[in-house]
Amino acid sequence: MTLPDEVSHRQPETPAIRKAVRGAAIGNTVEWFDFAIYSVLATYIADKFFPSGNDTVALLNTFAIFAAAFFMRPLGGFFFGPLADRIGRQRVLAIVILLMSGSTFAIGLVPSYDTIGVAAPLILLLLRCLQGFSAGGEYGSGACFLAEYAPDKHRGFIVSFLVWSVVVGFLLGSITVTVLQAVLSEAAMDSYGWRIPFLLAGVLGVVGLYIRLRLRDTPEFEELQAEGDVSESPLKEALTSSWRPILQIFGLVLVHNVGFYTVFTFLPSYFTQTLKLTKMDAFVSITIASVVALVLIPPLGALSDRIGRKSLLIAGSVGSIVFAYPLFVLLNSGSLAAAVAGHAGLAAVEAVFVSASLAAGAELFATRVRSGAYSIGYNVSVAIFGGTAPYVATWLTDRTGNELAPAYYLIIAAIVSLATVLTMKETAARPLRKHVTE
């Protein structure tokens, strides 16, 4: 990846910035590969961890456990976010990747419902909650890590690589499962093949941990440490001094998360369960949608540095409001090519918003409380709306019989985010604040 050569006097040299971006992005890719393979393997998990019967009910139960992990994210955010404000972003990023990969590896070892009965889904739920707890410390700390390394004039571009790496993680998870399905028989895949990606997470976790242990902490945090100005009670300080921007980031990332988990988690199952297309069709579609997002996110992040965060955030919100319904109509037109085009279109609209949202969120807060405040607002929002998106979309489709129902959920989320963006000040190209009173 090519990174800008201009750095302000407060930032490290360009090689250090490149190392920070690569380290954060690679580690984040490993984290979200772990998190993504659960959704990609949802139909296998539904079959293995729940009693046979109604396939829709089993899939709903699988997505319910997927959502349960997100309800643990606020706890992880409340714990790891302030911890990163006390001991540093780099240390927390190392801890969370170890916890995420370990719990993912353990999922690959859990016996099925037919073997140990109700204990199977209960253990699965526990391990998913551990994943959610660790993920609560990943995104906030990672966004702050990159924001604090980035030069002021290029912060949008650099921070965009965090969400870019999430898409890479999801795509690698999808590719891994598809390759296994291609080389293994259906019987082998059903017997043990579905466990392989979870076990692979253990190896990837060791790689990610090694990378993150070699990173230095951010210049902003090291400067606070040198001045003896690290907050002694960052959680209390964040809640008392930064409650307004915490509420802003809660609303800001609503369409970020509903859109993201609709595109990359819900739609692959929607292709097979609702549109009655093949798993290969779903793979082709999610691959194309992922590539569209990967191509668009970095240049759009750079564009937000030039024309402002709010321009991109408003465009992304309005895009979801205007295009969500017609793109879902396209998905349901009966043509595979049209369905893939609709999926890619949704990914493109989502890329516009997410390319600027993480940098805009980090810029709301002062360094003393940035990781904790960011993690609290972000993870409460994703727990309520993002993690439930696949469940709500599946439930709405099943209960109403309307295959376009998920579009309405996405539109409502976009309206809330748009209203939030309009309350925010432009923060692009401005220095990060150290203290709440600045």
What phi and psi values does residue 6 have, to the nearest 5 degrees?
-80, 130
Residues 6+ apart with CB under 8 A from 77: 136, 137, 140, 372, 375, 376, 378, 379, 380
Dmax (CA) of the chain: 64
Number of C-beta neighbours around residue 135 at 10 A:
27
Whole-number pLDDT of residue 392 = 81
pLDDT digit string, tens, across residues 300-336:
999 999 999 999 999 999 999 999 999 999 999 989 9
> Distance between CA atoms of 249 and 37, rounded to whole angstroms?
27
CB burial of residue 5 (10 Å; 0-12, 13-18, 19+): exposed
3-state secondary structure of 31: helix
- Count of alpha carbons within 13 angstroms of residue 12, beta-carbon side: 21
As a whole number of angstroms, the distance between CA 17 and CA 22 comes to 9
Q: Cβ atoms within 10 A of the Cβ of 245, count? A: 23
Q: Residue 339 pLDDT > 60, yes or no?
A: yes
Percent of the chain with pLDDT over 90: 51
Distance CA 300, CA 159 (A): 11
Report d(CA 191, CA 186) in Å as an integer. 8
Burial of 370 (0-12, 13-18, 19+ CB in 10 A): buried
| Confidence at residue 193, expressed as pLDDT on a 0 to 100 scale | 93
- Tell me the pLDDT tens digit for each residue of 249-293: 999 999 999 999 889 888 888 898 888 898 889 889 999 999 999
Six-digit token pair at 7? 């750095």
The rounded mean pLDDT for the chain is: 88
- Pair 238, 369: CB distance under 8 Å: yes
Q: In Å, how far from its chain's centre is CA 182?
A: 27
Tokens of 124: 């699965």
The letter for the amino acid at 153 is: K
Contact between residue 112 and residue 56 where contact means Cβ atoms under 8 Å apart: no
Cα atoms in the Cβ-side hemisphere of radius 13 Å centred on 186: 2
pLDDT, one tens digit per residue, over 88-147 is 999 999 999 999 889 989 999 999 888 898 888 889 888 988 988 988 888 889 999 999
> Which has the closest alpha carbon to 85: 221, 214, 216, 218?
221
Domains and CATH numbers, the chain: 14-219+234-423 (1.20.1250.20)
Q: Summarize pLDDT for 64-89 with one digit per residue, the tens.
A: 776 777 788 889 999 999 999 999 99
Query: Amino acid identity of 322?
Result: V
What's the mean pLDDT in 397-410? 86
Alpha-carbon distance of 159 to 394, in angstroms, equals: 32
